[in-house]
Amino acid sequence: MTEMPKKALPGHIAAALAGAGGITDSAGQPWAGRDLPAQEKYHNFDADDGAMDAGFAAAMADLAAGDGSEAQVVASLATARVFIPIVAQLAEQTVGENGLVSDKESDMALVTLQGPDGRRALPVFSHAEALARWHREARPVAVYAARAALSAVAEDAQLLVVDPGSQRPFVVRRPAMWALAQQQQWQPSYDDVAVESVLRESVSALGNSAVVDISASAGQGIESLWDHRSDPGQLLVSGGGTGPELCVTITLVPGLDQQTVNELLARLQEFWAGQEYFASAVDSIQIRLRHPQPQT
């Protein structure tokens, strides 16, 4: 993914940064001369050592072992702390008497990425070391992953990418990202009976006898290639890919010409797009056409 121009910070992150490291508190009262009880908790991450959240680490390990699912990884993020990278962005320059340009003011801004397909993504990191390796000058801001997802939505991002550039990145696609932002459980579209129901309704609504059967399954796009720089080799896992996530298999009667097939697919996709639940639950679709085998 390529780096996108930086944008202004969401209000909650800007406020957290603005109040960090100053000589006064948020009410303007000086810190000097004040004793802070050691046992008192001042924010959610007082004792944070920057390590990966244990629940997220366990879910990722299960996915790598083939015992988990991407839904379980997303569920683990619901309570996990992540780090958002913040970088300095030049706000104003000044020209000195000698004609040299120097920085006068700078702002702190979120970094967004752009994938090969043009979609915008917000990078987050499961531990501080991963962020430091990715961008040495970025400042880590600790937030809950749900809050990071909310920021991604505010930035018009379609993806939340956990640990980009690492050996084991994990992409949270739009439906899962929205569910995370709303603190709701995410149901993958390929395992959602409501999505399957819309597919079957589309065939009935069009009244086209050319479709023998229609079904949903996980698309190959959910797969991720991990450990690609490691020995003994690469690991292909069933989760965390950029998509397509939903494979729609359509069995057609034999003998249809290409134009008829194209028109049929266009009508089906138009129906799917018009269904609010389907449009929100499905990130991207892979269509597979089949013809029934002749009986002998």
Residue 116's Cβ-side half-sphere holds a number of Cα atoms within 13 Å equal to 2
Q: Has residue 20 got a pLDDT over 50?
A: no
Q: Judge whether 262 and 269 are in contact, CB under 8 Å.
A: no
CATH number of the domain bearing residue 227:
3.30.70
**Ranges 66-75, 197-206, 255-264, 286-295: which has the least confidence:** 286-295
* Domain hosting residue 52, numbered range: 2-17+48-181
Q: What is the pLDDT of residue 111?
A: 86
Within-domain flag for 276: yes
Are residues 160 and 208 located together in one domain of the fold?
no
Q: What is the pTM of this model?
A: 0.78
Question: Which 3-state string (H, E, C) describes 1-22?
Answer: CEECCCEECCHHHHHHHHCCCC
Q: Judge whether 238 and 223 are in contact, CB under 8 Å.
A: yes
Are residues 214 and 71 located together in one domain of the fold?
no
Comparing 157 with 38, the larger pLDDT belongs to 157
Count of domains forming the chain: 2
Residue 218's closest CA among 73, 64, 69, 115? 69
Which of 181, 203, 238 terminates a domain? The answer is 181
Are residues 153 and 200 located together in one domain of the fold?
no
Are residues 147 and 204 located together in one domain of the fold?
no
Are residues 107 and 12 located together in one domain of the fold?
yes
Q: What is the pLDDT of residue 72?
A: 98
- 12 φ, ψ (degrees, to nearest 5): -70, -30
Q: What is the pLDDT of residue 5?
A: 45
Q: Has residue 90 got a pLDDT over 70?
A: no
